[in-house]
Amino acid sequence: GDPGKALEFYTGLLSDDPDYVGAYFHLARLYAEQDDNKAAFDTYDKGIEIAKKLSDHHALSELMSARSNLEMEDLI
């Protein structure tokens, strides 16, 4: 789809519901696809913080794994 519209969609979701952990995952992936790794890492970190706050262990695991994968890609 349209990355600009996707970015607007996910940032809008988080503006309406900052605790919607899934949006952090998708927004971070979108940033990574656009080669904006700093924004991706920042977004993963924020999502990880929220997942910890909510004790959402599944989301925490998914976010940490995705962040780790991006770190590995960043090294290559």
For the stretch 6-60, pLDDT in tens is: 999 999 999 999 999 999 999 999 999 999 999 999 999 999 999 999 999 999 9
pLDDT score, position 75: 86
By the 8 A CB rule, do 40 and 29 touch? yes
Q: Residue 20: which residues within 8 A CB-CB, separation 6 or more?
A: 13, 14
Kindly compute the dihedral angle of the four CA atoms of residues 37, 25, 19, 41, in this order, to the nearest 10 degrees: -20
DSSP annotation of 19: T
pLDDT score, position 59: 98
Domains of the chain: 3-75 (1.25.40.10)
Q: Which residue has the higher pLDDT, 31 or 75?
A: 31
pLDDT score, position 61: 98
Map tokens 């929220």 to a residue: 50
